[in-house]
Structure 1
Amino acid sequence: MEEEKTRAASALLERAQAQVSEPKRTKLGEFADFIRWSFSKLEMRKFFRWFGQFIGNYPIPSLIAFGIMISLIGFAFPMNLRDRVRDGYTPTNSKAYQESKRLREFSGLTGDPMMTSVMLRARDKSSMIDPDNLMDAVRLLQHVKENISVSSEGKERNRFSDFCGHHCRQNDVVDYFALEMVKLRAGELSLFKSNLTYPMAMLMGQKVHLERNFYGVQTSFNENRTYTNIDYCELILLTFTADIQRPEEEEIVARWELAVSDFASKRSKDENVEMLVIGAEIVDLEMNKDSQRMTPYFAIGFAGAAVFIFISAWFSLFLYGRLSPEFRGCGMVTANMLLPVFVCVVPAMAILTTFGIYGLLGLRINSLMLIMPFLIMGIGVNDSFLVVHHWLRERTTLTRSELLGFVFEDVGPSITMTTLTNVISFAVGAAAPTAEIALFCAGSAIAMGLAYIYTLIFFGALLAFYSAPEGSPEPKKSRRQQQVGNFFDKLLLWYAKLLQNNIFRTVFLLIWIGFIVGGVVGCTTITSKLETEKILPHETPIRMPNRIIEEQIWPEYYPVIIMVHRPFDVADKALNTEFMELVDEFEGLEGSRGANSTILWLRNYKEYFDFVAAGNEKDIFGDSDEDAAEIQKGQYDNSQIQGFLESPITRHFRGMMVVDHDASPPVRKFSFVVAYRNHTTWDDRIRIQEEWRTICERHPNLNATIWNVNGMFVDQMQSLKTLAAESIVATLAAMVVVTFIFIQKPVPVAVAVLSIGSIAIGTIGYIAIWKLDLDPVTICAILISIGMSVDFTAHISMYFVNCPRGRDGMPPSALDRLVHSIGSIFWPAIQGNASTLICVLPLVALNNYIPLVFVKTLTLVVIIGTAHGLLLIPMFLSLLPSSMLEWDLLSSRKPSSTDTADRSTVGRELQLLGVSAVGSKSAEEPLLLTPATPGDV
């Protein structure tokens, strides 16, 4: 036996001596060697061996550091749970963001107008202009305006009138309509002839628009009812718009909107008029409430994963003899029973610490962030599984520091690479100009990084405590354990030979080609679409009002606000002509409701001007106008602007005009509204929005911009493919760099990178085939899939390339490499992948869109990634000669089939033989054999 050790050690020394006996290099070769040496330091094998020994020698300080880090959990509660569905998924550099900024500048606001929509309809399907229903609508309008209030610091009651700005009388048309309807039905005469025709009514001598408030209208001519042409009205819409003058008002308005929603939900079912409410804050609240419903599902997933971890960990302990009677005397059985517990503790602490960091920084937690625990719990245990697997394979006769050093040397570079790639993939998403995606990706990146750190300093320290004392006997396996172990050894050898079978290779290659073709087809057919209906919870009460808006209100009345950011002189004919050309272009687009539905102050002002010129203003309102006699009909100027904005019929234009009566001209800037119909799909809305922007660009002199309620969503859909492509390319580029730094062999790196691309193509393509659209949620899931794909490719590639030579010193064969690499990662990979799926699968029962996207994506990436990691990559690498696998691009010498691993690997093999190598790295000083001492390498 001793002779065999001596011969093996001599062979190893000859190989090591050959490495340091290389011929002199050229200057270029020396430079290349220096670069290679620099990169070799980045493998960090020696660093991780030292770090493992440090943790093994000083576990208490490591646990203290862990305790300090998890103390941040105290900042996690209470969580600031809040979503921003309206603008949180739109890139901050999009046109819609710029248009919203111009709108705020136009109105002098600090935030976008907050709009709350209240829909009123009869439960018995009767017409909303029936007397009882109409008066109920008026009473509800007044109640919402006057009686619903919320308290704030320094003020007990904040009503709508406190923050409505120029929009306080936005719904007065309903009041006026109801008042005139009651009079006309009773046969009373109004001061001026009123005509309640739809869509343009005549109230108090002025034209008013009914189509903004009355929907599902059926009209006909009735000789017995000449005052209106309306036969039936299905729905009345009341819109409450708040101007955010100060940042703190946003919170007040949000609570007021929720108070309106609460009032509507508590109304008796016996009331015939049904009240439906929806607004941005209500949507955000419902999204977050639904996300909080995931807590029991997380508990189920966590429990299922924990049970699996316990079973699989105990199986590993059994297989490696760690439950043998010899270990009971030193308490190892009791200690090993706790290992599965600590495997679960690592990701759980990482999740809670991440929430603590968000709380400390004052960041909010959105719905996507509440998906993060499922991901981290499933993915974060992978490193621990790999550490445990290698820990169990090491000899128990080593000291604790030596054992942990060897474990970290084996797994440290591998788990560092996979963690780094996961963190980078999330960091790419965190850098995206979309707030909701950035919050989720940043949190996931932090949690992944913390899980990695905790694995090293917490789990590693516990392994140091629970390792057998120095000099403990090697565990003796029972007959049953030996039988099970032999069975798995034979199974592993059979599997490795199967991967070398040409028939199996051919069949699998054909399957893989079909898989790629399907993935490419799916990638080319995936559509960019973000629909509120899709992301809303199934059981939320706002699904109905959202459906009404999308299916009834927008198809009938789809408005756009056009803002003109320049002074406007009514008397300037050239400017008037150019402006009316702009208006005509908007009104001439497909689906326009025409000039009668356009809300344009200039047209009403000219009617008012002519009205005053005829002397009617004084008769109606009793105002004295000394200049009225000098006004001539048809010759317009700015003289009546002030009176126009004070008229009870036209004062609602105050919110659409910025006027300075001391300036000339007084109208400094203004806006108007053009309405459209029949834009029922998002494709229609995207097209019309681009046409609006094009019209504004054709009239630079007017400095016009548009704003539409769906502008953010339209730009989200238009930017999704670009955002996805940029994120994917950036992530893949980072994967290439990181993989090359750690593996350093061009051919295995190329195989790993191509496999990452294959997994990404398959995941994205089959997501599309699985009826998922490209939206912000799927982009997050795709980033996860790319990051996770490295887990399946990197481990197998590293272990395949770094396969040790046999004791005879000969290079490993392809079969040796297959057995070594698959044997090193197969069981940890199965454990990690199974725990990931077990943790997320309970979300299927929730049956909501966002959780289902992650479940489908993770299922795909686990299945596809496992097939690549355990089948495709080892099969392909086994076809390559050793010289290609070991070729180093940065080396100045040609690859050789007799090249060996680095000197640290040789030293490790010598130590396992019970000897140590010492000597100089120069060619002149030989390496010598000495008896091994603890820690020698």
Structure 2
Amino acid sequence: MEGGIRPKRQSILIGQRSLDVYGETQQGPKFVVWIIGIFRKWGFTIAKYPWIAIAICLSISALSMVKIVLTPQRNEITGYTPYGARAKDEFQEYQDFFSAQGMLPYTSYGLPVAPYLFVVAKDNGSMIRPEYMRETVKILNYAMNNITMLNRVTGQNESFNQFCDSFCQLNEPIRQFYNGYVILSEPGAEPTSRIKLNYPISSVFGRTFSLQPNFFGVELYNETEDEIPRLLGAAKVAESVLNSTDLIPELPRLTNMKSVKMLTMQFRAEHKPGWTNMDVKKWEMKMVEVFERNYHSNLVKIYAYSQSYVEEEMVRGGIIMIPYLVVGFVIMCACSIVSVMTRVDSSYLMIHEWQRVTEHMRETPKKKDSVGHRMSEVLSEVGPAILISCLTNMFADAVGSFTSSPEITLLCTGNMLSMCVAFIYQMTFYAGLMSIVGSYEIGGDVEEKNRMAISIAENRRQPSKFHEATKPVISKFMKEYVEVMTTPVVYVGIFLIYITYLGLSIYGITIINISLTATKLFAMDSPLLELDHYRVTYQVPSYSMATVFISNPGNLSDPQRLHRINMLVDDLEHLNGTWGQNWGPVGTKFFMRDYANFQQTFGDESDDEFAEPDDSDSMTTTPATIVVKHFSDDELRYFLKWPEYDYWAGFVKLRNGTHEGEFKPTVFHEDGVYLDLIDNMTTDTWQSVLGTLVCMAFVCFIFLNNVFTVAIASLSVLSICAGILGILSWWGVDLDPITMAATIISIGFSVDIPAHVSYHYYQASIQEGPTSRPADRLANCLSSVAFPAVQAALSTILCVCSLLFVNLYMAGVFVKTMILCVVLCNLHGLVFLPAILIMLDSIRWAMRPKGAAAQAKGTAQKGASRKQKNARVRVIGSIKRFIRPGATFTTRRKVASICNGSTGAMLVKDTRKGMGGWWIEEFDPFSLFWPLCYSAGGAPAELAEEKLD
């Protein structure tokens, strides 16, 4: 390298000095040479205009910070729904239906109002006890009358009772059940057929209503089991009542329900003209604020639920991670300082390389020394290494951004852009800052040249105490480790362990659970998690509502069309789920059946348009056997205004000019936005992993131009990915978009160490010849990779562990994934991969012809003997090219692998008086603290050597 910059041992993949591992007669890949030239020119440019670069970077950062502060944080509820999923269309249909009011001129589009209140007893008892029902009705009245929203048209604050039109009666079953219960509980009250408080259908004074949407966790009396106690008398029944907190303390029995664990109230309203989406969100959040923080009850616990609240909790879950990222930053800074102190971790490249260049310039001053020259040397060496790491991570995220769901696309795109911005800032802001500081450093060197030279010489001759203390320990450990790894029993055993690991990982992948719920996106202290527990326990097992939107009902005056709609509803009612048979007509709310009842009650008594209801369907509010044979638009308008049926106005829209065609039904389920990803989660994952792997292999091949290295690194990355997913499965982590994103991001981290190990092992085989022992190759390889890999692993683990303080599922998944990635990378790079490479080399060595093996053994013994005799030799004259690390020079006595070889040869400068040139000195090949090499140049001359006294 021009300028005589002394080389150091390799710990990076590609750089100016790293080109020399291709040999003295090769120049390396042309693309890499071109990249190095670009970085060299950029070094001079950034050193010339550092303040401009810093000013531009600071301006961009300031504008970005202002944008972040001014941008409101929001969360998209369908963010985790896959692209093209049916649930997206269903959710959009749901929003359009409830936010657009007919075809009137004042049609308003926006978020529909739909908060819920869930009420459970604090003693976990039944909610149909009189005092608990009374408290629930009190909560209902408060919610309907005391929480207001501004009507921008009238300028007045309106309560729910005032702005609701079509859904005001949704919670009436709770009120009517309580009223009927109070009437039947009065002293002397006799059971009457006019009041029936049964589940699922009740009736009060001729008005029939369903309890299913409001009563959950219902336990019914078993008529057969309860008949004997009833016959034995009221005393035993009373005794059983007193011994149970769930039983209703009323005799005689007033309802067929033994216990109800949870009551639910829904406050649904259409979007009004003049409302904004922010108004709706504020009103829903006011409901949360009032009942979860301000309203106090000694009997019940109240949980609020709404889309706005879910989004708010998701945003809060992401924000609470920010303070803990500072902890990780501090840890990484501390680890960076430690790595510079130990001078072995070249993953922190720029500052380390700058120190090396500065130290050399102080020892061998040159006229052309300048900030630009130093920065060009730094960037030409470390720039390509930083670039290849950046590109591999960016390609990994780029693949992830084209798969799965919008949230994962946003995550991967953001991570990809952060990698790109970090690279740009490192080449501009950080390089410019180093140039400014470097200019002062050079000025100080000029003033204190003599004193600084003496100080540097003393520091070089007297290493630090830490240096002296750690050198023998690490050297001894490396020797013993290589000896153990090259033992046949050990590397064969490790190979068998690896096969077992691979088998368990693949099996874990096959049994991984695929799931995503909104609760995974909440902080662990979110009240919604406790609410979800009650919903899963009491509501989901017995009640799950699906809303079917008929976008094209057609002309319902046509009897055939009407019959086909009735058949569609009948088919839906006869669908059975995995839990068993559904509720059928009892669980169906179909406006045509209520319309039929309306016609039957208020129409012409002589009209014979209706079939008689079947007694077997008497439990339903809208018997399935009542079929409308005649349909009238005018009559339907009166039906929708009738108080008993006015809630259907929110579900029925009259259109003019309706065309014949398909019904175009759309089924909406509240959890549908999460359920649709289950089917394509597996496909998205393996496609993302495969695409990322191909892109990374392509990038590595362009820079390394070595098929062996790329193949080993790619297979190692694939093995690491299998291990991550398999172990996460055994760890109890579900496969969801969060896990998939963490896996894709971790792929970018998993390529470095396997690529380092395979690359250095391959170069060691070239340097030491095809007959070199596997132990020599491994020693050469690990001396460059092992300790930096371990140090980087520890610093990364400490950094991500800061997220363990965050009570968030997402943070936990990322911590587990990154720790697994780092541990598996080091296991593959330092254990599995060396064992497999040694085993392959041992097999190849054993299969060689005996003559060749004997000759190689004799050559090795002869070389060792000659090495002992000629411990010190002096090179006379100049060499034809500059000496670079890893280069092999052949002399008459075949001194091989000068500088950074495992033969124990180190090129150092001969400082004895009257003696010029260079000489070879023995050293410990396992030491991580080798003396720094010098390079020499001059006119081409034939290389010769002679023994020194």
TM-score above 0.5 = yes
CA–CA distance in 2 between the matches of 1:443 and 1:826?
A: 32
Q: 1:809 to 1:431 in 2, by over 3 A?
A: closer
Q: Which amino acid letter does the alignment assign opposite residue 671 of structure 2?
A: N
Q: Tell me the equivalent position of 1:588.
A: 574
Q: Tell me the equivalent position of 1:115.
A: 114
Q: Secondary structure at the match of 1:556?
A: coil
Q: Secondary structure at the match of 1:241?
A: coil
Q: Tell me the equivalent position of 2:496.
A: 510
Q: Tell me the equivalent position of 1:450.
A: 421
Q: Tell me the equivalent position of 1:866.
A: 826
Q: Tell me the equivalent position of 1:833.
A: 793
CA–CA distance in 2 between the matches of 1:835 and 1:775?
A: 28
Q: Tell me the equivalent position of 1:49.
A: 40
CA–CA distance in 1 between the matches of 2:771 and 2:269?
A: 76
CA–CA distance in 2 between the matches of 1:809 and 1:218?
A: 81
Within 5 Å, give how 1:249-288 maps onto structure 2. Answer: 249-267=276-294, 269-288=296-315
Q: Which amino acid letter does the alignment assign opposite residue 259 of structure 1?
A: K
Q: Tell me the equivalent position of 2:921.
A: none
1:438 pairs with 2:409? yes
**Contact 2:115–2:307, Cα closer than 8 Å, also in 1:** yes
Cα offset for 1:242?
4.3
**Contact 2:559–2:629, Cα closer than 8 Å, also in 1:** no
Q: 1:16 to 1:270 in 2, by over 3 A?
A: closer
Q: 1:616 to 1:73 in 2, by over 3 A?
A: farther
Q: Tell me the equivalent position of 2:647.
A: 652
**Contact 2:393–2:749, Cα closer than 8 Å, also in 1:** yes
Q: Which of 549, 552, 565 is the equivalent residue of 1:579? A: 565
Q: Deviations over 1:477-514 (max 9, x none)?
A: 31556745853566556656665554443233222222
Q: Deviations over 1:812-858 (max 9, x none)?
A: 99777655654444444333222211112133344542222111111
Q: 1:229 to 1:507 in 2, by over 3 A?
A: closer
Q: Tell me the equivalent position of 1:361.
A: none
Q: Deviations over 1:318-364 (max 9, x none)?
A: x8xxxxxxxxxxxxxxxxxxxxxxxxxxxxxxxxxxxxxxxxxxxxx
**Contact 2:553–2:663, Cα closer than 8 Å, also in 1:** no
Q: Secondary structure at the match of 1:208?
A: strand
Aligned residues: 761
Q: Tell me the equivalent position of 2:350.
A: 387
1:304 pairs with 2:331? yes
Within 5 Å, give how 1:378-417 maps onto structure 2. Answer: 385-394=348-357, 396-398=359-361, 399=369, 400-417=371-388
Q: Tell me the equivalent position of 2:65.
A: 74
CA–CA distance in 1 between the matches of 2:788 and 2:747?
A: 20
CA–CA distance in 2 between the matches of 1:111 and 1:797?
A: 58
Q: Which amino acid letter does the alignment assign opposite residue 915 of structure 1?
A: G
Within 5 Å, give how 1:350-499 maps onto structure 2. Answer: 385-394=348-357, 396-398=359-361, 399=369, 400-464=371-435, 465-466=437-438, 469=445, 473=453, 475=457, 476-478=460-462, 483=468, 487=472, 488=474
CA–CA distance in 1 between the matches of 2:287 and 2:498?
A: 57
Q: What TM-score does the superposition give when structure 2 sets the normalisation length?
A: 0.70
**Contact 2:640–2:646, Cα closer than 8 Å, also in 1:** yes
Q: 1:282 to 1:506 in 2, by over 3 A?
A: same
Q: Which amino acid letter does the alignment assign opposite residue 753 of structure 1?
A: S
**Contact 2:712–2:755, Cα closer than 8 Å, also in 1:** no
CA–CA distance in 2 between the matches of 1:440 and 1:718?
A: 21
Q: After the TM superposition, which of the residue ranges 719-728 and 484-493 deviates more from structure 2?
A: 484-493
Cα offset for 1:565?
2.1
CA–CA distance in 1 between the matches of 2:838 and 2:374?
A: 31
1:743 pairs with 2:743? no
Q: Secondary structure at the match of 1:266?
A: helix
Q: Which of 625, 630, 634 is the equivalent residue of 1:636? A: 630
Cα offset for 1:436?
2.4
Q: 1:642 to 1:875 in 2, by over 3 A?
A: same
Q: Which of 83, 95, 120 is the equivalent residue of 2:86? A: 95
Q: 1:156 to 1:757 in 2, by over 3 A?
A: farther
1:612 pairs with 2:598? no
Q: Deviations over 1:842-881 (max 9, x none)?
A: 3334454222211111111111111223344456567889
Q: Tell me the equivalent position of 1:209.
A: 210
Q: Tell me the equivalent position of 1:542.
A: 528
Q: What TM-score does the superposition give when structure 1 sets the normalisation length?
A: 0.71
Q: Which amino acid letter does the alignment assign opposite residue 437 of structure 1?
A: I
**Contact 1:418–1:794, Cα closer than 8 Å, also in 2:** no
Q: Tell me the equivalent position of 1:528.
A: 514
Cα offset for 1:646?
1.3
CA–CA distance in 2 between the matches of 1:494 and 1:48?
A: 41
Cα offset for 1:787?
1.3
Q: 1:903 to 1:96 in 2, by over 3 A?
A: farther
Cα offset for 1:768?
0.9
Q: After the TM superposition, which of the residue ranges 417-426 and 45-54 deviates more from structure 2?
A: 45-54
Q: Secondary structure at the match of 1:757?
A: helix
Cα offset for 1:782?
0.6
CA–CA distance in 1 between the matches of 2:156 and 2:882?
A: 74
Q: Deviations over 1:667-689 (max 9, x none)?
A: x89xxxxxxxxxxxxxxxxxxxx
Root-mean-square deviation (Å): 4.4
Q: Secondary structure at the match of 1:786?
A: helix
CA–CA distance in 1 between the matches of 2:293 and 2:733?
A: 37
**Contact 1:195–1:201, Cα closer than 8 Å, also in 2:** yes
Query: Sequence identity, in percent?
Result: 25
1:600 pairs with 2:590? yes
Within 5 Å, give how 1:889-928 maps onto structure 2. Answer: 913-915=935-937
Instruction: Mark the runs of 5 or more structure 1 residues left unpaired by the alignment.
Output: 1-11, 21-35, 320-381, 618-631, 670-699, 885-901, 918-926, 930-937
**Contact 2:495–2:836, Cα closer than 8 Å, also in 1:** no
CA–CA distance in 1 between the matches of 2:264 and 2:23?
A: 84
Q: Which of 534, 538, 546 is the equivalent residue of 1:552? A: 538
Q: Tell me the equivalent position of 1:26.
A: none
**Contact 2:133–2:178, Cα closer than 8 Å, also in 1:** yes
Q: After the TM superposition, which of the residue ranges 479-488 and 115-124 deviates more from structure 2?
A: 479-488
**Contact 1:194–1:227, Cα closer than 8 Å, also in 2:** no
Cα offset for 1:61?
4.3
CA–CA distance in 2 between the matches of 1:828 and 1:907?
A: 18
Q: Secondary structure at the match of 1:274?
A: strand
1:793 pairs with 2:783? no
Cα offset for 1:219?
4.9
Within 5 Å, give how 1:680-759 maps onto structure 2. Answer: 701-759=662-720
CA–CA distance in 2 between the matches of 1:864 and 1:163?
A: 60
**Contact 2:523–2:809, Cα closer than 8 Å, also in 1:** yes
Q: 1:396 to 1:230 in 2, by over 3 A?
A: closer
Q: After the TM superposition, which of the residue ranges 541-550 and 45-54 deviates more from structure 2?
A: 45-54
CA–CA distance in 2 between the matches of 1:242 and 1:928?
A: 93
Cα offset for 1:188?
9.7
Q: Which amino acid letter does the alignment assign opposite residue 858 of structure 1?
A: M
Q: After the TM superposition, which of the residue ranges 705-714 and 468-477 deviates more from structure 2?
A: 468-477
Q: Tell me the equivalent position of 1:896.
A: none
Q: Which amino acid letter does the alignment assign opposite residue 612 of structure 1?
A: F
Q: Deviations over 1:706-732 (max 9, x none)?
A: 111111121132332222222212211
**Contact 1:119–1:238, Cα closer than 8 Å, also in 2:** yes
**Contact 2:120–2:262, Cα closer than 8 Å, also in 1:** yes
CA–CA distance in 1 between the matches of 2:111 and 2:881?
A: 65
